[in-house]
Amino acid sequence: MLYLVPSPIGNLQDITLRALDVLKEVDVILAEDTRNSARLLNHFQIQKPLTPYHQHNEHKVLQHLVDQLVAGKNMAVLTDAGTPGISDPAFLLVRECIRNNVKVETLPGATAFVPALVNSGLPINRFCFEGFLPLKKGRQTLLKKLATEERTMVFYESPMRLVKTLEELQTYMGPDRQAAVSRELTKLFEETKRGSLAELAQYFGTKPVKGEIVLVVEGTTA
């Protein structure tokens, strides 16, 4: 059995009782960062073997992990924050498990874009999740395409690139397009700032930006 276990995006109390039970019962935990996962497990007094599993080694260790699962081991995937597979490793392993008739179970739990989307004040009956925009190749082409997207759009962004991204979005979508920026969700200094792309670029351009960022952008009404 392979379990995908969401981990808290900030507040440790957001982990579910079921997630804790699974982490206590599996044979091994696949951790995006073993140091971060060890802190979480130590907080809840859970002692289990940790194996590194991240974007830099997921291809290399894939077959070995599948062989162990087929042989009967139970594993849990634990990323640094949120649900495995959402802008984090898990897809390749899930796909190979399905191909090899290994049961996969995804637990419900924390993920950053859901509270940011609901809290944005923008329409959420239809939305698309874009994750992190490409850094170079294909970035401008994608932004041009998204300018005509009618659904509310959700992006992840780093603090260092937030203002640049807001300015680029203005270029393709116009300065008056409404948006919301959520950062440090569930943490002490949680903040959600709403306004036009121009207003948000100006606001965040005048202050240091810290924390994980979720950017929610209104779809076109044209």
Res. 161: pLDDT tops 90: yes
Tell me how far apart the alpha carbons of residues 166 and 1 are, in angstroms, rounded to a whole number. Answer: 42
Mean pLDDT of 116-123: 97
Give the pLDDT mean for 117-126: 96
Q: Can you tell me which residue has the tokens 């999740």?
A: 129
Give the start-to-end residue ranges of the domains of the chain.
Answer: 2-106, 113-217
Q: In this structure, is the dihedral angle defined by the CA atoms of residues 196, 202, 205 and 209, taken in order, positive or negative? A: negative
User: Exposed, middle or buried, 74 (CB in 10 Å: 0-12/13-18/19+)?
Assistant: middle
Query: Are 2-106 and 113-217 equal in CATH topology?
Result: no
**Residue 64 is which amino acid?**
H
- 192-201 pLDDT, tens digit each: 999 999 999 9
Give 125: exposed, middle or buried? Use CB within 10 Å, 0-12, 13-18, 19+: exposed
Q: Which of 10, 6, 15 is nearest to 186 (CA)?
A: 10
Whole-prediction pTM = 0.92
Specify the fold of 2-106.
Cobalt-precorrin-4 Transmethylase; domain 1 (3.40.1010)
What gap in Å lies between CA 111 and CA 85, rounded to an integer? 10
E strands in the chain = 2-4, 28-31, 50-52, 75-78, 104-106, 127-132, 152-157, 178-183, 191-196, 213-217
Query: Is residue 204 predicted with pLDDT exceeding 70?
Result: yes
- Which SS3 state, helix, strand or coil, does residue 144 take? helix
Q: How many CB atoms lie within 10 A of CB 75?
A: 22
Task: Find the mean pLDDT for residues 101-124.
Answer: 96
pLDDT band at 222 (very low <50, low <70, confident <90, very high): low
CATH of 113-217, one of 3.40.109.10, 1.10.1060.10, 2.70.98.10, 3.30.950.10: 3.30.950.10
Do the Cβ atoms of 3 and 77 come closer than 8 Å? yes
Q: Examine the pLDDT at 90 and tell me if it is beyond 70.
A: yes
Q: Please say whether the beta carbons of 177 and 169 come within 8 A.
A: yes
Task: Please state whether 33 falls in left (phi above 0), alpha (psi between -120 and 50) or beta.
Answer: beta
For residue 157, pLDDT beyond 80: yes
How confident is the prediction for the chain on average, in pLDDT?
A: 96
Predicted pLDDT of residue 221: 86
pLDDT of residue 2: 98
Structure tokens at 188: 């002490």
Digit-coded pLDDT (tens) for 209-218:
999 999 999 9
In the three-class reduction of DSSP (H, G, I as helix; E, B as strand; rest coil), residue 77 is classed as strand
